[in-house]
């Protein structure tokens, strides 16, 4: 399933961005101004990546519903 692969890929990118931001967030909390700037920039990337995950999930739901094999949890 291509849609499922896209959803997983988008989620893995989001997790990677959060992990990358962790270091700068900690440094920024310690007073490092440059790290604060990097952390804020990374937060914008995380926001977009989260939107990408939501869109991939919605697209997957639409594709799953179109196939007629809708599952209930």
pLDDT tens sequence across 49-72: 999 999 988 887 777 776 655 555
**pLDDT of 71:** 54
Q: What is the rounded distance in angstroms from the CA atom of residue 17 to the CA atom of residue 7?
A: 16
Write the CB contacts of 70 (distance below 8 Å, at least 6 apart in sequence): 64
**pLDDT of 41:** 98
pLDDT tens sequence across 1-25: 556 777 889 999 999 999 999 999 9
pTM of the full predicted structure?
0.75
């Amino acid at each position: 399933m291509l849609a499922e692969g896209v959803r997983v890929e988008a989620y893995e990118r989001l997790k990677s961005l959060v992990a990358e931001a962790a270091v700068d967030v900690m440094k920024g909390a310690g007073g490092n101004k440059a790290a604060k700037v990097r952390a804020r920039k990374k937060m914008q990337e995380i926001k977009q990546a989260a939107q990408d995950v939501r869109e991939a999930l919605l697209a997957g739901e639409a594709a799953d519903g179109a196939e007629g094999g809708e599952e209930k949890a």
